[in-house]
């Protein structure tokens, strides 16, 4: 149990376009989901905290108008990279925090989405 999926796993888009990444908790409800960014050979950097039914909380230095986050249900959060540029190319990882039960309060991580902007 406690599986988090991301879709797509890999996406290539042209500069100036927008791309949406989905994060789903498959077998538990997650009131809170987190979005991270990981550059090659670097650590995960928290971008934002996504709470179901409310606005996301962005970390300092992360442009909220560029990285749109929507957490419309207890099992789905989406990250939309708007007007993508090559410097947005990165590995984006989400995690979902369980609320109780078998998932507990641990954060479960998705497999990540590799975004390449050409």
Partner 1 sequence: AQRVTQPEKLLSVFKGAPVELKCNYSYSGSPELFWYVQYSRQRLQLLLRHISRESIKGFTADLNKGETSFHLKKPFAQEEDSAMYYCALSADNTDKLIFGTGTRLQVFP
Binding site for partner 1 (CB under 8 A): 4, 32, 34, 42-46, 49, 93, 95, 97, 106-107, 109-112
Cβ proximity to partner 1, 3 vs 68, nearer residue:
3
- Shortest Cβ 43–partner 1 spacing (Å): 4
- Shortest Cβ 114–partner 1 spacing (Å): 13
Cβ atoms of 23 and 33 within 8 Å: the answer is yes
DSSP track, the chain: ---EEEE-SEEEE-TT--EEEEEEESSS--SEEEEEEE-TTS-EEEEEEEETTS--EEPTT--TTTEEEEEEETTEEEEEE-S--GGG-EEEEEEEE--SGGGTT-EEE---EEEEE-
Cβ proximity to partner 1, 79 vs 84, nearer residue:
79
- Shortest Cβ 52–partner 1 spacing (Å): 13
Cβ proximity to partner 1, 103 vs 117, nearer residue:
103
Cβ proximity to partner 1, 110 vs 115, nearer residue:
110
């Amino acid at each position: 149990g406690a599986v988090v999926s991301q879709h797509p796993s890999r996406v290539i888009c042209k500069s100036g376009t927008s791309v949406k990444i989905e994060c789903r908790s498959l077998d538990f409800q997650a009131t809170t989901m987190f979005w991270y960014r990981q550059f090659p050979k670097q650590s995960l950097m928290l971008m934002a905290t996504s709470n179901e039914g409310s606005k996301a909380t962005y970390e300092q230095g992360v442009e909220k108008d560029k990285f749109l986050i929507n957490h419309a249900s207890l099992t789905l959060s989406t990250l939309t990279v708007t007007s993508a540029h090559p410097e947005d190319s990165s590995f984006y990882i989400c995690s979902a925090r369980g609320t109780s039960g078998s998932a507990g309060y641990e954060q479960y991580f998705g497999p990540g989405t590799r975004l390449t902007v050409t």
